[in-house]
Structure 1
Amino acid sequence: MNEAQQSLADDPRSLSEQAYDRIRRDILLGNLMPDAKLQIETVSDRYGIGAVPVREALNRLSAEGLVQRRNQRGFFVSPLVIEELAELVRTRILLETLALRESIALGDEQWEEDLVLACHRLARSSRRLGPEVATRISEEWDIRHNEFHRLLISCCASAWLKGFCATMMVQAVRYRNISLNINPNPARRDGAVAEHQALLEAALARDADLACRLLGEHYSATLATLRPAGMQA
């Protein structure tokens, strides 16, 4: 048994779940580029997982919008479209500020403590990235960043609203990572650490108007730095 096979054997999750996680990760990181054909046999060989679990994973990713199933042609990584990026950010601001306002109103002391810790971890992760952040976002930073933004709205009472926000976050992460992969000289986001700190302070002060304004500016600033060269017009 080789190392890859041993790793699969040691993982208690189902093969379908493993295939889903690994394909999803590579799509979000840009290792599988937009419009890439996902032949069952090729994907199966790539991850060392059988064809049936791979097909189940691709069907699940298709339902989430990360993969497209095209009639008579099979599975493809979903394309990225320039106009859809701006629309995604606009919709994300509309819904996430709504969730943030309610989360601030309902958040308790434990929420505050968790938010402070998440912001600290994110800032520490950002400092460790160094100059290479201009060409590659680390997986640790991605995890910490998502954790902080998820916690901001975690006390919103609407599971539907939080679910929509989570789906948009996944798509935004993909756009960002793809943009960094295809753009050799991306604009740096040197102000992101200060923006997260300002968001934290506004949330802790229970200033919902300020927090929502800062969140919208934060997402708009990130959008402005993404050069969508290589995406569909």
Structure 2
Amino acid sequence: MDAVIEVDGQGPSTQASHVYDRLREDLLSGRLAPSRKLQMRFLTEAYQTGQTPLREALNRLTADGLVEVREQRGFYVKDISRAELAELTKTRCWVEALALRESMKAATPPWEEQLVLAQHRLSRAPRSLSATTFEDNPEWEKLHRIYHRVLIANCGSQSLVAFCGQLADQLYRYRRLSIRKAFPSRAVGDEHAAIVNAVLNADVEGAVALLTAHYQRTADVILQDETIFPELKANGG
């Protein structure tokens, strides 16, 4: 049986959740690069944990689609591909269109107020920490996630919201890897505001069209990023 290091009185399950959160952040941020082998010895030292909670965390991340198991070779960071990005985007558009329609069908003043507040807070946060060179702002990312979650939170299905969140995480990893190409010159604030206006005007099809176009526009930019898809350069774009 693996030895488990007790930290601050934490049991194995609590440790696994802690390791899961830290690994997840490093996977989403790109600090653990796509296709990298996740060696147990390195991870136990880097995350100060035992193998049992580590394996539990890795299994959860595999279910989340952020880690993959290669037969007879162990755990690896999930690789990226243009085909997967296109598929994930299409799937997210499908399921969030459903979630947004259901949210708007059941619209209430408190939900609309929450959405307006989420969009307002996001609009006040600078996209970049620097005015001269693009430097990602963690606060903007946090508010951006809240905004998109509030959009679909009124759909009446926590399972649907959870699945949307899983897809969002997988796509966020692509966006982070391509962050300097996907966002610096893009007026995403206008896109966010337009979606909210459509919601407040009860324009269901308009809101859905704006949301799906918003996601597709991001994917289209990333799909042409030679820095993360070097095969584009080899194939001449």
- TM-score normalized by the length of structure 2: 0.85
- Aligned ranges for residues 27-46 of structure 1 at < 5 Å? 27-46=27-46
Choose between structure 1 and 2: higher helix proportion: 1
Q: Which residue of 2 aligns with 1:137?
A: 136
- Aligned ranges for residues 193-208 of structure 1 at < 5 Å? 193-208=189-204
User: Residues 137-191 of structure 1: CA distance to partner in whole angstroms, max 9, x if unpaired?
Assistant: 33222211111011101111233332321111111101101223xx6x5563431
User: Residues 26-84 of structure 1: CA distance to partner in whole angstroms, max 9, x if unpaired?
Assistant: 00000001011111110111122222211111111112111111222111001011111
What 5-or-longer segments of structure 2 have no aligned partner? 232-237
Q: Which residue of 1 aligns with 2:208?
A: 212
Runs of 4+ in 1 over 6 A off after TM superposition: 10-13
What 5-or-longer segments of structure 1 have no aligned partner? none
2:219 to 198, 204, 223: 223
| 1:129 shift after superposition | 3.4
Percent of aligned positions that are identical: 39
Aligned pairs, number? 224
| 1:128 shift after superposition | 5.9
Q: Which residue of 1 aligns with 2:93?
A: 93
Q: Which residue of 2 aligns with 1:52?
A: 52
- TM-score normalized by the length of structure 1: 0.86
Q: Output the aligned Cα RMSD.
A: 2.5
The change in CA–CA distance for 1:79 and 1:149 in structure 2 (over 3 A counts) is same
> Hey, what's the Cα distance between the residues in 1 that align with 2:212 and 2:105?
18
SS at match of 1:76: strand
The change in CA–CA distance for 1:20 and 1:123 in structure 2 (over 3 A counts) is same
Q: Is the 8 A contact 2:182 2:218 kept in 1?
A: no
Aligned partner letter, 2:116: V
Q: Which residue of 2 aligns with 1:78?
A: 78
The change in CA–CA distance for 1:15 and 1:187 in structure 2 (over 3 A counts) is closer
The change in CA–CA distance for 1:133 and 1:193 in structure 2 (over 3 A counts) is farther
